[in-house]
Amino acid sequence: MESEVDERLGARFDRHEVRRRLHDVPPHEVYEVSVDGRRAVYKANVGPTGSAGVEGRVMRAVGDGTSVPVPEPLVVADDYFVAAWHPDAPAPEADHEADEAWARAAGRGLATLHDETASMVDAYGAFRPDGALAVRGREEWRAAAIEYVRERRPVLARYGHADVADWVLDHLTERPGAFDGAGGPVCCHGWATPEHVAVADGEVSVWSTSNTRSPRPASTTTGGRWSRRSAPERASPSACSGRATSRSARFRTGSTGGSRATRC
């Protein structure tokens, strides 16, 4: 709702303009805006499962504490954030395709994210809203995965895929050692696709969460477009277990087993 966007921006900045809506599918809405003469992105919750505030806090922590390139957060509130528009972020109107060069660069970028956040998180699960990298997590990755699938099952059931969730839950419940060998928890990106990860000259130029479309929230594996998990070997890009691999421009926590590769 543009009236709410106007009200929030007016309370935070001397000058602002709402330029266009980029995304409006629950649980988030995303607008291109201008604040005090700067091009920016506004992302907010529009439903109870939104996690824009968590995403903004995790993005700020990643930007402050690692070498991973992310947009600059200008305002982070409980249910929305405003970030500077990054010139390298994927354009909203463009067609984005993943090729081998993109995948290799994104995989290296994920490995860096996982390596440099390993000391910042200490459990598997979703980031909590009361701290940048505080996790309402589990000490064991399998338990976090089961909890995550249970939380998402009602959504899958709504679209006729409850059987998939049930199969995964049965599989994990019957296999206590399913995640044996997974590494410690790290911060993971929840949706590492060309729409959210820009690559230039063989390197990730920015991890974008909002310039194009709304990333998933900080996830239960950890945090929002950003989440927390473990990362596996340093080969495949993702954010689950093992140290390199996304899912949360969201981040989450997960594990990366062995060397450093993860699934996001």
Q: Would residue 118 count as lying in a domain? A: yes
Query: Given its phi and psi angles, is residue 209 left (phi above 0), alpha (psi -120 to 50 degrees) or beta?
Result: alpha
pLDDT value of position 241: 37
Q: In angstroms, what CA-CA distances link 211 with 70, 82, 161, 201?
A: 11, 11, 30, 21
Lowest mean pLDDT: which of 12-16, 46-50, 145-149, 166-170? 46-50
Domain that holds residue 15: 2-140+179-255
Average pLDDT, the chain: 80
pLDDT value of position 260: 32
Q: Would residue 150 count as lying in a domain? A: no
Distance CA 229, CA 252 (A): 7
Q: Would residue 154 count as lying in a domain? A: no
| Domains: count for the chain | 1
Helices 100-117 + 52-65 axis angle, to 10: 80
Q: Would residue 156 count as lying in a domain? A: no
- Summarised one tens digit per residue, pLDDT across range 222-264 is 333 444 444 333 222 223 333 333 333 355 556 554 333 333 3
Q: Would residue 223 count as lying in a domain? A: yes
Spell 202-238 as b/e; 16+ CB within 10 A means b.
eebbbbbbbbbbbbbbbbbbbbbbbbbbbbbbbbbbb
Token pair 């994104």 is at which residue? Answer: 106
End-to-end CA distance of the chain: 31
Q: Would residue 23 count as lying in a domain? A: yes
Q: The tokens of 19 are what? A: 């330029």
pLDDT value of position 68: 94
Identity of residue 144: A
- Summarised one tens digit per residue, pLDDT across range 88-134 is 887 766 677 889 999 999 999 999 999 999 999 888 988 887 777 77
Q: In angstroms, what CA-CA distances link 155 with 54, 62, 151, 210?
A: 21, 29, 8, 23
The yes-or-no verdict on residue 218 having pLDDT over 50 is no
Q: Would residue 26 count as lying in a domain? A: yes
Q: Look up the pTM and report it.
A: 0.77
Q: Would residue 84 count as lying in a domain? A: yes
